[in-house]
């Protein structure tokens, strides 16, 4: 799927195109994407922008440069990603990338590197990448794609121009899904998955709605102490665990939004200067902790872990009250 297929990326494309035309394109971009909205697609488009051989209408999408970028076969494009079963991008990968960026461009123009997901850089790798950002070579474009840029060092973030990719409005997302997949329960599907149209485009909406309804019911009962976490975990880990975790994450996020919408967290400073620790404050901390735990489990699914035990631990935290 190309950036032309995602209409909500038009503002970001216009910004990058104008900067490139005025020769003011930053040497490092951080694409901060909402999950399932196409940050990696925008990164590919930005690479095509500077590597396109059509000087009048870049990126044309038709020239050899654009086609090679789309297939990740361009000699002046480097991709830094998770490899094998690793959960982190490691310093050795960054060092190899840095060495490649110092070489002369094959076509005499830009050299481009895309790091995705950039929030998977471990501390040593991030620091090694920082050195490249501090002393960039001429006509080099480094593009970082992240859903959680807060995991990256502030010093690294400060050297990147941030491009936000927000989730499209629900009506826009539903219209887009209908245009590529036809009529279906897309609104209910997004209720389950969150406002992540690219995720929704890859699933069967009827199955997801049924799946999400069952997940929400069990989570409510688990939170109320009416479901056994061990029994639930043993059943859930066997069937599409990634989709199940997306449902859990969205269920937790929805509860955070409800709390904030109700003004439950207007916490005042006491005479001691410390934040009061009322039950609502502890509740929101627990919810955020559970969301972090779900995201950690999602990122470790390719690792050799006991999935049933990890899911049971998560559900026990939910039922702890």
How many domains does the chain contain in total? 2
More confident of the two residues 142 and 108: 142
The answer to whether residue 185 sits within a structural domain is: no
Shared-domain flag, residues 19 and 120: yes
Residue 278 neighbours by CB under 8 Å, 6+ apart? 267
Task: Read off the pTM.
Answer: 0.81
The answer to whether residue 129 sits within a structural domain is: yes
CA dihedral 223, 302, 207, 192 (to 10 degrees): 50
Can you give the pLDDT at residue 321? Answer: 57
Can you give the pLDDT at residue 275? Answer: 36
Q: Is the pLDDT of residue 263 over 90?
A: no
Can you give the pLDDT at residue 273? Answer: 37
Closest CA to 205 of 229, 187, 179, 226: 187
Can you give the pLDDT at residue 267? Answer: 36
Shared-domain flag, residues 141 and 280: no
Domain ranges, residue 43:
3-165
Domain-ending residue, one of 147, 165, 183: 165
The answer to whether residue 179 sits within a structural domain is: no
Shared-domain flag, residues 78 and 160: yes
Shared-domain flag, residues 155 and 279: no
Shared-domain flag, residues 147 and 208: no
Domain-ending residue, one of 139, 165, 191: 165
Shared-domain flag, residues 158 and 212: no
More confident of the two residues 321 and 216: 216
Pairing of strands 28-33, 161-165: parallel
- pLDDT tens-place string over residues 237-255: 888 888 889 889 888 988 8
Shared-domain flag, residues 128 and 17: yes
């Amino acid at each position: 799927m190309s950036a032309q297929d995602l209409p909500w990326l038009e503002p970001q494309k216009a910004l990058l195109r104008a900067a490139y035309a005025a020769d003011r394109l930053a040497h490092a971009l951080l694409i901060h994407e909402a999950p399932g909205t196409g940050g990696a697609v925008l990164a590919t488009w930005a690479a095509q922008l500077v590597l396109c051989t059509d000087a009048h209408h870049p990126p044309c999408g038709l020239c050899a440069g654009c086609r090679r970028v789309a297939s990740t076969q361009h000699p002046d494009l480097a991709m830094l990603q998770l490899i094998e079963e690793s959960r982190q991008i490691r310093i050795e990968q960054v060092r190899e990338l840095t060495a490649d960026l110092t070489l002369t461009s094959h076509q005499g123009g830009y050299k481009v590197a895309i790091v995705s997901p950039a929030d998977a850089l471990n501390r040593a790798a991030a620091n090694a990448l920082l050195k490249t950002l501090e002393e960039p070579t001429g006509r080099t474009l480094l593009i970082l794609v992240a859903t959680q840029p807060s995991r990256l060092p502030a010093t690294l973030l400060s050297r990147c121009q941030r491009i936000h990719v927000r989730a499209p409005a629900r009506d826009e997302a539903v219209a887009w899904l209908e245009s590529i997949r036809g009529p279906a329960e897309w609104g209910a599907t997004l209720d389950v998955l969150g406002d992540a149209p690219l995720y929704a485009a890859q699933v069967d909406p009827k199955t997801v709605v049924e799946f999400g309804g069952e997940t929400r019911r069990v989570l409510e009962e688990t939170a109320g102490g009416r479901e056994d976490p061990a029994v639930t975990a043993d059943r859930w880990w066997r069937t599409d665990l990634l989709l199940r975790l997306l449902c859990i994450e969205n269920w937790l996020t929805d509860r955070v939004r409800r709390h904030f919408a109700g003004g439950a967290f207007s916490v005042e400073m006491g005479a001691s200067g410390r934040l009061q620790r009322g039950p609502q404050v502890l509740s929101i901390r627990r919810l955020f902790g559970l969301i972090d735990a779900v995201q950690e489990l999602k990122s470790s699914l390719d690792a050799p872990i006991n999935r049933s035990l990890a899911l049971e631990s998560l559900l026990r935290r939910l039922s702890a009250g």
